[in-house]
Amino acid sequence: MRVRIWDLPLRLFHWLLVAAVVAAFVVAKIGGNAMVWHGRAGLLIIGLLVFRLVWGFAGSTHARFASFVRGPAAIRAYLKGEWFGAGHNPIGALSVLAMLGLLATQAATGLFANDDVAFEGYLYPLVNAAVSDKLTGVHKLLEPALMLLVLLHVGAIIFYTRIKKESLVLPMITGWKDLPIETPAPRSGGFVAFLVAALVAAGVVYVATGQWLPPPPVVETPAF
């Protein structure tokens, strides 16, 4: 049975997040003037994560957290080969939650971080230098963990494609997936839910930019 598992907003979220994470990683390695794009990629990641959070409650059936966040019993059943579901499997759900949580932590700490040269996070003025340095340390410390999680994600895709003969990439492109048994058609999230998620995400991104902060005081140079 062929079912549309992933809706368009979820697929756009996924691929935009991939692009933003790759861009953030690459420009961070370049450093220098490119760091401004690291910050912009971080803002995009924040917006996408907030959108995903709202869409996880108001989106279509398989985008909702309630459809794939399960307890230990489901994980045991999956490992025994006794679990069946249309969306994320219990192990995949743990990966999704870990990825979202780690990215959220990285993005949040990055807002207050600095590189000791020219780059400062958008909300750097809200903290003192010592706090910024600590958050910068956390931001850098979590980078290898994020890269490891990404590699595990890619490894899982390769495993499912080569060993289990199940493509995870194609459904995330087309939205459609062939299922072995009949499954109820998923419910759509709807335009209103999409609009609410997009507006909430835009509002949080605006706050993250720090544009609402008062400008720094002008230091007047005494005339001679």
Neighbouring CB atoms inside 10 A of 152's CB total 13
How would DSSP label each residue in the chain?
-EEE-S-HHHHHHHHHHHHHHHHHHHHHHH-GGGHHHHHHHHHHHHHHHHHHHHHHHHS-GGGSGGGT---HHHHHHHHTT----SS--HHHHHHHHHHHHHHHHHHHHHTT-B-SSS-B-TTGGGS-HHHHHHHHHHHHHTHHHHHHHHHHHHHHHHHHHHTS---SHHHHHH-EEE-SS--PPPPP--HHHHHHHHHHHHHHHHHHHTTTSPPPPP-PPPP-
**Residue-level pLDDT, tens digit, the chain, 224 residues:** 788 889 999 999 999 999 999 999 999 999 888 999 999 999 999 999 999 999 999 999 999 999 998 889 988 998 888 887 788 889 999 999 999 999 999 999 999 999 888 789 999 999 999 999 999 999 999 999 999 999 999 999 999 899 988 889 999 999 998 876 667 767 888 999 999 999 999 999 999 999 999 987 776 666 66
pTM score of the predicted model:
0.93
Q: Tell the CATH topology of 8-156+193-209.
A: Fumarate Reductase Cytochrome B subunit (1.20.950)
